[in-house]
Structure 1
Amino acid sequence: MQDSNSGTLSFGSLQIPPRPEVVTALMEEKTKEDPNFQRIAKLIAADVGLSAAMIKAVNSAAFGLDRKLASVPQALHLLGLKQVTSIATALVMRNLSGGKSTASLERFWDSAEKVALLCARIAKRLHGIAADEAYSYGLFHNCGIPLLLNHFPQYKEALIAANSSIEESFTACEEARVGTSHAAVGYFLTRSWNLPGDLCQAVLRHHETDVFELAKHGDHMLDFIAIGHLAEHVHHLSARNGEDTEWNKFEGAVLRHFGLSDEDYQDIVDGT
C-alpha cells in the first residue's frame, strides 16, 4: 500500500522507506543512451555522507583498483556508471532504516558493510556475479532487520532465537514471533525501489534451506544467495566465536553451487 501524500509504502503497519530521489535520478541517467556523467557526479557529491562512503567503498580491496580514488568523477571514470549506481544505491540504504539510530543499529550496519565488501571480494574470485552486484546484495539482503527492530519491541528476541535455531528456519522463527520476516520486508523494499529481479528474489529466499534444490540451475538468484552465505560465514569466523548455525544449513549447497572443493573453500577463507 502506498501513502498518496508521502510516497511511503506500508507493509501491514510497517512503513517502508520510499526510494530516495538521488537513486531515482541515478537510475534515470543509467537508462539514457547518452547519460550525463557530470550530473551524476554532482548528484552523489551533493550528499556529503554518500560521496564519502562511496570513495571509501571503491578504495577498499574488494574492488581491486590499482590506485586510490579521491573523487566521485574518478570513480565514474574507472568503475563506470553501472557499478557506481549499484554501489550508491546500496549505500543510501544505511540512512533509511527508519527510527532513531542506536548502538545496536550502528553495529548492524558496520557488520553489513563488512559482509558487503566480503561479497565483492569473493565475487572477484568466482564466476557468474559482478563485484558491484555482490556488494549491493551484501548490503540489501538483511535490510529488513533494522526496519523490524525499529517497529517491533520484541523483534530482538526473535533475532536471538533465529540465530541459534538448528531445526527451524531463520524466517520461521521470525514469523512465529512477529508475524513476518526480514526476508519478506527486504523483498518488499527492494521491489519498491525497482532493484533487479534476481536480487529481489534472493533477498526473499536466502533463508530457504531447499532453495538450491527447487530453483532452476543457472538461476542468477542462487549466485547471490550462495555468495551471501559464504561472506556471512567468513565474517562470522573473523568476528565472533561459537557455532554458525546458518552456515551449517547451507554449507554443502553453497560449495556445490560454486563447485568449490574443501581446499578452494579454505583458500577463500584465508584470502579474504
Structure 2
Amino acid sequence: MKTHAIRQELDQARANGPLRQIQIPPCPELLQRLRAAMDLPQPDLNEVARIAAADVAMSATLLRVANSPLHLVAGHVPCTTVGQAMYRLGLDESAALMQAFLVRHAIPVNSPHLLRFWQRSTKRSIAMGFIAGQLPGMRVDLAQGYGLFCHVGMPVLLQSVRGYGATMVEAAARIDRPFITTENINHRTDHAVVGALVIKVWHLAPELMTAIRLHHDFDALRDEGVEPEVRTLIAAGLIAEHLMRRHEGLDEDVDWAANRAAAMAWLHLSEDELEQWDEALRPRLDEA
C-alpha cells in the first residue's frame, strides 16, 4: 500500500497543496517511444534504432561512447553508424544512454547551484546499472532510471520556485538538520516529493516513483510495509552514492555512516564484495 499512499499524497499536494506551482516539463516524445519499444516482451530493435537515428546529437553520443577506450577493443575498427554503435554497446546500455540524453535535454540545468548535475546523475545511473547486474532479480532498467532521476526534483524546483537556489545553499551548509528538512521549512515540499511527481506525470514505473519519494527516508530499509523492490532500489542507491564518492575522493557522508549496515544487510552484501564492486566499477565511472 506504500506506493498507493504516495500516489494519493502527490495527487492531494498537486490539487490543493505546495505542488500546485510546480511546472513539470512534458515527457519527450522520443522517450515515450523508447519506453514503449523496450517494454515489449521482445524489445523492438528496429524501433530503438529509428529513435536513436532521429536525433543527430543522440546518435553522436552513442558513437562517442561506443568508440571510447572502455568499449573499443584492440584490433577493432571504430563504429561509423548508429547500428554498429548499438551492436557494440548492447541494447540495454544503448537504451540507458538514449534515456539519459533525452531526459537531460528535457530538463536543462543552467545554474551554478547544480554544477555537473547531469554528469553525476549519469554516473549514478551507471553505478546503479552495474549493481543491478550483480544482484539476481534486480531490473537493470529500473536501477538505471533510479540513478538518473534520483535528484531530478532539484532542477525542477529551481525552475518553478522562487528562492530555491538560496535554499540549496542554506541546506548544504547546515549540519544541524537534513537537507530535505530545510527544503520543507522554506517551501513546504522537497526534491524527493517533486522527483516522485516527475515520475508520476511521465508515467514511469510506480516502483521508481515510490523509491525516489523515499530515497532520503532510510527507515524504509527496515519497514516491511515498503515493497521489496523499492527497498532494494533505496539500498542500492545508497551504495551507488558511496561508491561514487569514493571514486571522487570524497569523505563518507552522514547517510552512509548511519545506514550502511541496513543497506548491506538488505542486499546480503559483504564488505569483501563491496570492495570488489568498487574496483570493478571504477573504470566505468572514469569513462563517465
Residue 83 of structure 2: aligned partner: 73
Residue 241 of structure 1: aligned partner: 250
Segments of structure 2 that go 5 or more residues without pairing to the other structure are 1-9, 11-17, 282-288
The CA deviation string for residues 59-105 of structure 1, in whole angstroms up to 9 with x for no partner, is 78999x9988654434655777676545533431111225x624554
2:231 is the alignment partner of 1:222:
yes
Residue 7 of structure 1: aligned partner: none
Q: Could you tell which deviates more after superposition, 116-125 or 139-148?
A: 116-125
TM-score by length of 2: 0.75
Cα distance in 1 for partners of 2:61, 2:115 equals 15
Residue 210 of structure 2: aligned partner: 201
Residue 26 of structure 2: SS of its match in structure 1?
coil
1:180 to 189, 194, 197: 189
Residue 92 of structure 1: aligned partner: 102
Is contact 1:164-1:245 (8 Å) kept? no
Pick closer, same or farther for the CA change 1:219–1:227 going to 2, 3 Å.
same
Is contact 2:125-2:145 (8 Å) kept? yes
Number of aligned positions between the proteins: 263
2:200 is the alignment partner of 1:191:
yes
Cα distance in 2 for partners of 1:243, 1:177 equals 27
2:27 partner amino acid? R
1:47 partner amino acid? D
TM-score by length of 1: 0.79
Residue 15 of structure 2: aligned partner: none
2:127 partner amino acid? L
2:239 partner amino acid? L
Residue 129 of structure 1: SS of its match in structure 2?
coil
Shift of 1:226: 1.4
Q: Could you tell which deviates more after superposition, 67-76 or 17-26?
A: 67-76
2:150 is the alignment partner of 1:141:
yes
Cα distance in 2 for partners of 1:171, 1:250 equals 17
Q: Could you tell which deviates more after superposition, 33-42 or 174-183?
A: 33-42
Cα distance in 1 for partners of 2:276, 2:245 equals 16
Cα distance in 1 for partners of 2:195, 2:220 equals 17
Matches within 5 A, 1:1-272: 11-30=19-38, 37-56=45-64, 71-74=81-84, 84-85=94-95, 87-98=97-108, 101-163=110-172, 168-216=177-225, 219-272=228-281
Question: What's the RMSD between the two structures over aligned residues?
Answer: 3.5
Shift of 1:113: 1.3
Shift of 1:109: 1.1
Pick closer, same or farther for the CA change 1:178–1:24 going to 2, 3 Å.
same
Pick closer, same or farther for the CA change 1:43–1:241 going to 2, 3 Å.
closer
Shift of 1:249: 3.0
Is contact 2:221-2:235 (8 Å) kept? no
Residue 23 of structure 2: SS of its match in structure 1?
strand
Cα distance in 2 for partners of 1:198, 1:61 equals 35
2:103 partner amino acid? M
Shift of 1:25: 2.2
Is contact 1:62-1:118 (8 Å) kept? no
Cα distance in 2 for partners of 1:71, 1:249 equals 48
Determine which structure has greater relative contact order: mean sequence separation of CA pairs < 8 Å that are 6+ residues apart, divided by chain length: 2
Cα distance in 2 for partners of 1:128, 1:144 equals 28
Pick closer, same or farther for the CA change 1:236–1:49 going to 2, 3 Å.
same
